[in-house]
Amino acid sequence: MEPTFPLFRLPENAIVQVLQNMDPDWLLIISLISTKIKHIVTSLLLKAGDVEICISDMICLKVHIGRSLLALNFYNDSNDQNELLSVDITLPVDAFLPLESKTIQSSTPLNFSNWLNHIQSVFCYTNPLNLDFHRYCERFEIQSLKDAIGNVDVLYVTSGVTNVFTKEVLKFFNASNNLFLERNPFKETHQIQQILIQNYTIIGFHDVYSLDDMLLVNIIGLRWSKMV
C-alpha cells in the first residue's frame, strides 16, 4: 500500500527536491515507508564515507555521511535487570536514534542484518565495515555477528573483552586489513605470534611483547607498547 502523506502525492522530482534538504536520520526514517520511497532516497546518491559498529552490551552503528553522523543503537535495554542475557540478533528489533531520543520501526520487521543491509543500500556503502568490541559484548553470539557483518576493514578489541571471547573474535573475523588488540588473550607465545604474522596493513598491540615478536611482523604500520 502506497503512503498517504501529502509529500508523496507530489511528482517524483518535487519529492527529490524536498528530500535533498533533509538530515540523514529523517531520510532513513522515510526510506522505511515503502520500497518505492526507499528507491527515491537511494537515488539521492548520498554516500557514507565510513561505517563503524561498536559492540558492548548493545550494538551501536555509526554512519558518517559528509559532515553528518547517523547513529543508531540496537538492543539498548540497559534498564532491564536481564541486560546481559544472550541476544538472538536474527530476530526483529527496533532501532533507537540516541541523538534524537527516538525509536524507529520499519513497516516490515527487520533484524540487525536487515537493518545493516538497508542502511548500506540507502547510503551507497559497499566497503568493509569497522568493528569494535567492548566490555559485555559476550552477550552476542559470535557466529551470528559474523553472518550479519561479514568481513571488516578495521577490527578493534578492547581490554574489557574476556580472553575467551577475544579468541573467538580473532577466529571468526580473521580477514581484517587492520587489527588493534589492547590485550593478549593467549597463554602461549606462539599463539599470539600466529596472529602477528598475518598479512595486516596496520597492527596495534598494547600488551607485553618481545623483540622476537617485532621481528616476525612484516606490515606497513606498527603501534606497539609494553616491550619486555
Give the per-residue pLDDT at 1.
Answer: 46
Give the per-residue pLDDT at 154.
Answer: 97
| Structural domain that includes position 123 | 47-176
* Number of independent structural domains in the chain: 1
Q: For 68-112, what is each residue's pLDDT tens digit?
A: 999 999 998 755 555 568 999 999 999 999 999 999 989 899 999
Cβ neighbours for 105, distance < 8 A, ≥ 6 positions apart = 32, 94, 95
115 domain residue, yes or no:
yes
d(CA 38, CA 131): 26
Q: For 4-31, what is each residue's pLDDT tens digit?
A: 567 777 778 888 888 888 999 999 999 9
Q: For 131-154, what is each residue's pLDDT tens digit?
A: 999 999 999 999 999 999 999 999
Rounded to whole angstroms, the maximal C-alpha distance in the chain is 69
Question: Residue 27 class from Cβ within 10 Å (0-12 exposed, 13-18 middle, 19+ buried)?
Answer: buried
pLDDT at 172 over 90: yes
89 domain residue, yes or no:
yes
217 domain residue, yes or no:
no
191 domain residue, yes or no:
no
94 domain residue, yes or no:
yes
Alpha helices for 80-129 (secondary structure H): 112-122
Cβ neighbours for 82, distance < 8 A, ≥ 6 positions apart = none
